[in-house]
Amino acid sequence: MSDFPAPHAPVMLEETISFLQLRSSGIYVDMTAGAGGHSEQIARHLGQGRLIAIDRDKEAVALTRKRLSPYPAATVVRANYSELKTILEAQGCPAVDGILLDAGVSSMQIDRAERGFSYLKEGPLDMRMDSDAPLDAAAWLQCVSPRDLEQVLKEFGDVRPVRRIARHICKRRDQGQLKSTSDLAEAIRDALNHVVPNPVELRQVFQAVRMAVNDELNHLKTGLEHGAESLSPGGRLVVISFHSGEDGLVKELFKRLSRQQTELRPDGRILKRVPALYKTVTARPVLPTPEEIQRNPRAKSAKVRVLERLQSAE
């Protein structure tokens, strides 16, 4: 391992590297480079191969470029991973041997108070993964309707009581008192009239707002589809998810791609059956070990699923 002072521990590092089945001459993509922990381990395995590390956060890109500078096989690109096809075309790599996608928010984003991701740290209501994006959390909360806010809190955070919390957030917003992370946290506490300093609803609401501001599930869906399409025969797409909505998207896509397809005649009769081009490697999601969770509590909700492109239709 490198002595590079990374601000976080990569989640399920051994498992993801093993699933990628790295070859020295292979071409690999880390779609969510973050601080570069997974990327560095991939790069260490490469000789004549290539690594393309992607992140939309300019601070993460700067950090990863520095971290991967000893590895000539590595290229770091600032972009959203939903732009994967365009990125690969620009890099002259229409097909790759393995892709890693870590759908979680970066620990270094959470730990920086000025990024506004955490209810535990006083900071602006920002939450943008790409700090150059036009809409931050404060602006999003200013324009969202109470009904749409309820839907976001329910879908992305499984928040309860959703209507009461949404109403208190909008009330504070309308009073001009929703500008910082502590303002949002206080709105949630007011709604709950809670004696516990940090109820679970704080985390759930912050997560839901973050996912909405960054349009995370739509980007994830596109990134997964492009990732699967970009695999060479035998290549693998390894995905780490942390939220039930994320894992549900991964599970359903992998299930659909692994099924035999049926082409029908105009009258509805079967014309032909098309064998699946992919197989799901993990029948069930792989979870972190108790030892890893003890070392890194942020790994607790992680799930890994793996899809492989077949050498030929089976």
Cα–Cα distances in angstroms (integers) from residue 273 to residues 260, 269, 307, 310, in the given order: 7, 11, 21, 17
Is residue 240 within 8 A of residue 16, CB to CB? The reply is yes
Q: Are residues 220 and 305 in the same domain?
A: yes
Find the range with the poorest average confidence among 4-13, 181-190, 243-252. 4-13
pTM recorded for the entire structure = 0.91
**Residues forming beta bridges with residue 240, ordered by sequence position:** 102, 304
C-alpha triplet 126, 221, 135: angle, nearest 5°: 20
Q: What 3-state class would DSSP assign to 131?
A: coil
Q: Are residues 225 and 95 in the same domain?
A: yes
Q: Are residues 202 and 190 in the same domain?
A: yes
Tell me whether residue 37 is in a domain.
Answer: yes
At residue 268 the predicted structure's pLDDT band, cuts being 50, 70 and 90, is confident
Per-residue model confidence (pLDDT) at position 109: 86
* CATH (domain of 40): 3.40.50.150
pLDDT in tens, 191-222: 998 666 678 899 999 999 999 999 999 999 99
Q: Are residues 101 and 228 in the same domain?
A: yes
Q: Are residues 190 and 253 in the same domain?
A: no
Q: Are residues 33 and 171 in the same domain?
A: no
Tell me whether residue 293 is in a domain.
Answer: yes
Q: Are residues 55 and 174 in the same domain?
A: no
Per-residue model confidence (pLDDT) at position 311: 79
Tell me whether residue 148 is in a domain.
Answer: yes
Tell me whether residue 225 is in a domain.
Answer: yes
**Residues forming beta bridges with residue 51, ordered by sequence position:** 28, 74
What is the residue type of 27? I
Tell me whether residue 118 is in a domain.
Answer: no
pLDDT in tens, 137-160: 999 999 999 999 999 999 999 898
Taken as a whole, the chain contains a residue count of: 314
Q: Are residues 86 and 145 in the same domain?
A: no
**What is the separation, in whole angstroms, between the first and last Cα of the chain?**
39
Q: Are residues 205 and 233 in the same domain?
A: no
Q: Are residues 254 and 289 in the same domain?
A: yes
194, 213, 232 - which closes a domain: 213
Average pLDDT over residues 124-134: 95
213, 247, 274 - which closes a domain: 213
Tell me whether residue 91 is in a domain.
Answer: yes
Looking at the structure of the chain, the number of domains it has is: 2
156, 191, 213 - which closes a domain: 213
% pLDDT > 70, the chain = 95
**Residues forming beta bridges with residue 27, ordered by sequence position:** 50
At residue 91 the predicted structure's pLDDT band, cuts being 50, 70 and 90, is very high
Domain ranges, residue 88: 13-107+216-309
Tell me whether residue 8 is in a domain.
Answer: no
* CATH (domain of 209): 1.10.150.170
Integer Rg of the chain from CA: 21
Q: Are residues 143 and 268 in the same domain?
A: no
Per-residue model confidence (pLDDT) at position 198: 74
Cα–Cα distances in angstroms (integers) from residue 188 to residues 91, 182, 206, in the given order: 46, 10, 10
Q: Are residues 170 and 190 in the same domain?
A: yes
